[in-house]
Amino acid sequence: MSNWKTNTTIETLKCRAALLNTVRHFFQKNNTLEVDTPTLSQSTTPDPNIESFTTQYNSKQYYLHTSPEFPMKRLLAAGVGAIYQICKVFRQGEVGRNHNPEFTMIEWYQPSLSYHRLMAQVDELVGELLKDKISLKETVFISYQNIFEQYLGINPFICDVNKLNGVLKENNIELVNSEIKLNKDALLDLIITHLIQPRLPKNVPVFIYDYPETQAALANIRKANGDNEFNVAERFELYINSIELANGYQELLDANEQRRRFENENKQREQADLQIIPIDENLIAALDYGIPAVSGVALGLDRLVMLATGMDSISDVIAFTIDEA
Amino acid sequence: MANYSTNEFRSGLKIMLDNDPCSIIENEFVKPGKGQAFNRVKIRNLKTGRVLERTFKSGESVEAADVLETELEYSYTDGSTWTFMDSETYEQYTADEAAVGEAIKWLVEQETYTVTLWNENPICIAAPNHVVLTITETDPGVRGDTSGGGGKPAICNTGAVVRVPLFIDQGEKIKVDTRTSEYVGRVKD
């Protein structure tokens, strides 16, 4: 059945345009250059939890990017300095209240900022974007370890699979198919999405940082030292009103380590019967050449519009969803 | 029977869960940007009517339930089963007490009901919003009182007890809202 109408309102479209305007002003003020990298690429992320769309060109397989990260890092190697990009990215199979297979991402890299200072910059930008839209309370910065301790009384770095399964069972979260055995990271994902995310305080930006080292393919790992008992991935996520808004890293700079992680992800893909992804040799070569110490983050624009307009589904804030496209 | 993958989940989809047919009320795709995806689903068990929340690992498949909602006419009861008929094909379906459930007090012969069939068997009967019942027992009507204030209980031909205005008499037909069990009005033959 044909239906030409949009699901969203003109008012929402105007809000979306105004937010984009604010984003561009913000980066101009912060001397961050807008760039535009290809949507189609001969490689993509091998992350086993992200599936890319594919297409053909000159009888070669191309992927639609799931994030502009790899080419943006090549620009960093070229010495471009601070950069940002606003683009559509594509992910197979992601459909729901907060997901559409194509969505708009604001991604940026700041060579002069540590990931902690980048969190502060994200907070500043989001604060500016949501000013007059929702009254945000004071931002919370909390480590991955501390938020698990605070909400569930467990240390995610020490807990084994049995303990995590026990916590889930106590809270009546069980997979329908009990034969599926989730690995530790998937169990932690189940806990964070089902038992922590929905219970986060309202109207409070919450930054969670320092993730398990197994949960950051592209982030720098900080080895355990006097201050820290565990190796952590220097990664952060931002949540507002239980919506995941941003994911950022202190970026991994070591080409050999990056290759090892890609190969490891491809091994996981093989075990899960997923297609093997050719390693992005251009990215590896750029890392090999050298990129400056840099932090980077991706922020979901559609979800920001949801927060700014009070809409509770992504289909309310984009002109046409995948089903209407 | 067919299978559905989690990415086909949507509200209204009928699936088998714990050996019972269920209907998806709400499907939420939950996925950390860099992590395992899940489908958190609110489901109604079509046999018990109970609503439960369950989580699937995204990409899993689940058996489809052969469930069909159809409009059938109520025919008769033998005391332990209730027989409904398709008014076009004259095919008969027999429901047990569990399937009839709360609808039992609204069952009127020749009236049409929404019947949920699972593998061709009725598992749930839903009454129309309004049915016409005959009062079999109530205190005598108070003539002249048309205010409707106060009211009195009346036992109907189906066993339902409905509060009716004081002027209503035994033997009269009344229209009742099955959702609230409230008297709506008098029905003249």
CATH code assigned at A55: 3.30.930.10
B15-53: b (≥16 Cβ within 10 Å) or e = bbbeebbbbbeebbbbbbbbbbbbbbbebbbbbeeeeee
Res A56: pLDDT: 96
Average pLDDT, chain B: 91
Residue of A50, A175, A215 with shortest CB distance to B55: A175
Q: How far is it, in rounded angstroms, from Cα B162 to Cα B138?
A: 10
Q: Is A101 on the interface with B (CB under 8 A)?
A: no
CB contact under 8 A, A175 and B56: yes
Confidence label for B144 from pLDDT (cuts 50, 70 and 90): low
Q: Is B59 on the interface with A (CB under 8 A)?
A: yes
- Kindly state whether residue A322 falls inside one of the protein's structural domains: no
Res B99: pLDDT: 92
Res B149: pLDDT: 62
Res A257: pLDDT: 97
Res A130: pLDDT: 97
Nearest CA in chain B to A178: B56
Residues A212, B35 contacting (CB under 8 angstroms): no
**What's the total number of domains in chain A?**
1
Q: Which of A248, A235, A239 is nearest to A304 (CA)?
A: A239
The yes-or-no verdict on residue B143 having pLDDT over 70 is: no
- Kindly state whether residue A145 falls inside one of the protein's structural domains: no
Res A311: pLDDT: 95
User: Radius of gyration of chain B from Cα atoms?
Assistant: 22
Mean pLDDT of B57-76: 94
* pTM reported for the whole predicted model: 0.83
Res B49: pLDDT: 86
**Under-50 pLDDT residues of chain A:** none
Q: What domain range is A39 assigned to?
A: 10-137+201-316
- Kindly state whether residue A241 falls inside one of the protein's structural domains: yes
Give the three-state DSSP class for A110. strand
- Where helices occur in B6-157 by DSSP H, the ranges are 97-100
- Kindly state whether residue A157 falls inside one of the protein's structural domains: no
Q: Give phi and psi for A213, each to the nearest 5.
A: -65, -20
Q: How far apart are the CA of B122 and the nearest CA of chain A, in angstroms? A: 26
- Kindly state whether residue A151 falls inside one of the protein's structural domains: no
- ipTM exceeding 0.95? no
Average pLDDT, chain A: 95
The yes-or-no verdict on residue B148 having pLDDT over 70 is: no
CB contact under 8 A, A194 and B38: yes
H or E stretch including A295?
strand A295-300
What token pair was written down for A4? 């030409």
- Kindly state whether residue A69 falls inside one of the protein's structural domains: yes
The yes-or-no verdict on residue B1 having pLDDT over 80 is: no
Res A66: pLDDT: 97
Res A31: pLDDT: 97
Position B97, amino acid: E
Mean pLDDT of B139-166: 82
Confidence label for B147 from pLDDT (cuts 50, 70 and 90): low
Residue of A95, A176, A189 with shortest CB distance to B32: A189
CB contact under 8 A, A182 and B57: yes
Mean pLDDT of B86-102: 93
